[in-house]
């Protein structure tokens, strides 16, 4: 399962398993998995995706008021206008 695989990557369990499996061939130390490529992509399931990334029910962003086209605010423009 994809979720189980991701859970192995986070605490670096796969690197430790590689270190334990290879001492007879070549002694490896400090093995880290940097990049993973999925050769056969799994079928997309929205339910599993939301399970992995969490369920965000509330809107976390804040809405900003944009000035109208002619009302652009330029930082420091008030100082220049007052000096003239």
- The per-residue pLDDT for range 36-72, each reduced to its tens digit, is 887 776 677 778 777 777 656 666 677 777 766 666 6
- The residue with greater pLDDT, 75 or 40, is 40
Going by pLDDT thresholds of 50, 70 and 90, the confidence category of residue 75 is low
| Domain encompassing residue 20 | 1-36
**Helices 2-9 and 46-53, axial angle in degrees (round to 10):** 20
Q: Exposed, middle or buried by CB within 10 Å (0-12, 13-18, 19+), for 73?
A: exposed
Domain membership flag for residue 46: no
| In the predicted structure, residue 81 carries a pLDDT above the cut 60 | no
Domain membership flag for residue 57: no
Domain membership flag for residue 29: yes
Per-residue model confidence (pLDDT) at position 66: 74
Domain membership flag for residue 68: no
The count of structural domains within the chain is: 1
Residue where the block lists tokens 């991701």: 6
């Amino acid at each position: 399962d994809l979720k189980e695989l991701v859970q192995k990557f986070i605490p670096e369990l796969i690197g430790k398993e590689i270190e334990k499996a290879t001492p007879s061939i070549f002694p490896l130390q400090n093995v880290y998995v940097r990049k993973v490529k999925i050769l056969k992509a799994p079928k997309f399931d929205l339910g599993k995706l939301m399970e992995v990334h969490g369920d965000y029910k509330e809107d976390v962003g804040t809405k900003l008021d944009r000035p109208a086209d002619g009302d652009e605010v330029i930082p420091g423009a008030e100082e220049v206008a007052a000096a003239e």
